[in-house]
Structure 1
């Protein structure tokens, strides 16, 4: 009986993973990194990096940053999806890679750690490179065969395009349909009908709409934002707006008004109504949680977290690692200059609309938007 028990104990138990790999009992109980075959079989590549403009940051619900976009291309080459795990520093990245919590460090590491296998994108002048686990030679070889220095230039060019206004497919219409009659757009009656849902002046919502789409109901951004008010599909679903109706002017404006009202409710601590509108506009463009991070930084540094003039300074500073890596900041890097510029342009156009538009609804039915003759005339 004793011999039989010993024999059973000496038999190697095997565990079969969902993607078809067989692991020994000793392997199954230890957290290890996936091999290249495991990664492909599981359909996911896990990237470890640090938040920042060159590495990874969230931009309107999409990942951006040179290292992320490169790794995204590599994952596409493998035929798998990409998951990002953010770390606070390089020590955490290396430890998590060793523990099997990630497959690849997409960050320019100094080539000094003997526990790592360096491969892929590199900066020879700085002696830095991406890294994988020492035992994952197949992944390192595949990464080296895929990468070429020209990819960096291509990705930088693509990122520059995506972050420009050119990445929004739209016709550019005049910012005023009929100045002499005080008609802003073909959709004034919808702004007048739905802006009160958010307790907004309809001309402010019209100014925002022009900034978003230049009054083109078919506008589409690379990130997937659609229609007059550039509503993301996920936001549309949350608001009860179907993708089949998202280009309908009335339904798009109505959904946007509902979203503005929701954002206004989340800024009830900003008691001044006009100030609150600036916070709402900033959140619509740059994200609610980034704005909250800037408010927290403002308060920490002795400013007024409910003053747009104070908070906008820290929205700008969220592109500086001294600030976006502050422990009080929960959502990292932000392209703050874009958001502050967005709010400023809407404020300026709103002031112009207030000086011309009378608020009547009797003119829209006989006019259609006039195509701008020269695109560069209208600054977006």
Structure 2
């Protein structure tokens, strides 16, 4: 388990440490092993590194860099700094071995650092707000209030465009706000527009649905790790690790875990959900919390599932006869002790019991979070079809214990060449895939909205 530091105390600790240590860290693989840990600079953000509901570190960059540290044979220690400029300055001063912070390959950075592998493709996007100025091209962008993060690839791109295409282009570089904070400022109408990488936009647009993607500023580019200038052996080790991790589909799996479920954005749906969090959720939150505690579930997951099922309508009915806030069939309601499916408290308790039961009946080899995601799929399509999908996954050389593999196999259950060979036969296998994706989306939006609410109090 890597040791975790964060916040202002981190920066102070680094600076004090630097004062005591007059020489920069040795960034060679041998030096890192001698040091006993890989010191990684990063940002505290949903696309890089953050602490999850279980107070555990997680994030796209966290998972990748932790695996690289294991490749070197040492634990990782993550240091979070507030700005890209701080990260680059600290790395250049030898206060860390590498930076894994969603950074692009820029010529200016090549003068100060060595690049690791290009591991994820992003596009710089101009982001504005519905109801505000909506520039459609560079010329129109010159007429709005545009703010970007200082020291970022966005700033470098704007400087290039100003010199080569649009001399009238102006902007303000903010050295105190992160990209995520600037997106929120656009949403709050404090500024007109900003620029952000497409993966950051995809995640944050679910929290701030009025944000609008106007146009790209560049062709897609690769994010890369940074190593200190001259650390050629470390950069080579990064490339070698990446080749192995990529061949094993590890990088693709980690990227899918954090980004695949946010690829599709529906403004109307997200805006409606955010509104109902404020207007309807307070009526049912105590019920979700009580049921979740009783059956060892996350209440936010249960609430997100209920929204996917019924949009929190206790009188909801489907053409197939399922009813209530958790949309239980008569058979399932009977199995879990629900006598009135239209009673929201009964329905939520029954749905939680059913989901917990499905999770319990899955093979012990399935670990979290895949266990819960696969149980959700079974809630939607039935446990028999999930068992069929697992058998088919094994037959196709996929991992039957991984949701990331099962979600590629489940749609095959609607194809005769596959379902005719399986015990439970045909199923609309794409539906549970979308079902789980939407629940994960709703849960993340819900948690972010609640965090924003508490922060405002």
| TM superposition score normalised by structure 2 | 0.38
TM-score where L is the length of structure 1: 0.46
Q: Which structure would you say has the larger Rg?
A: 1
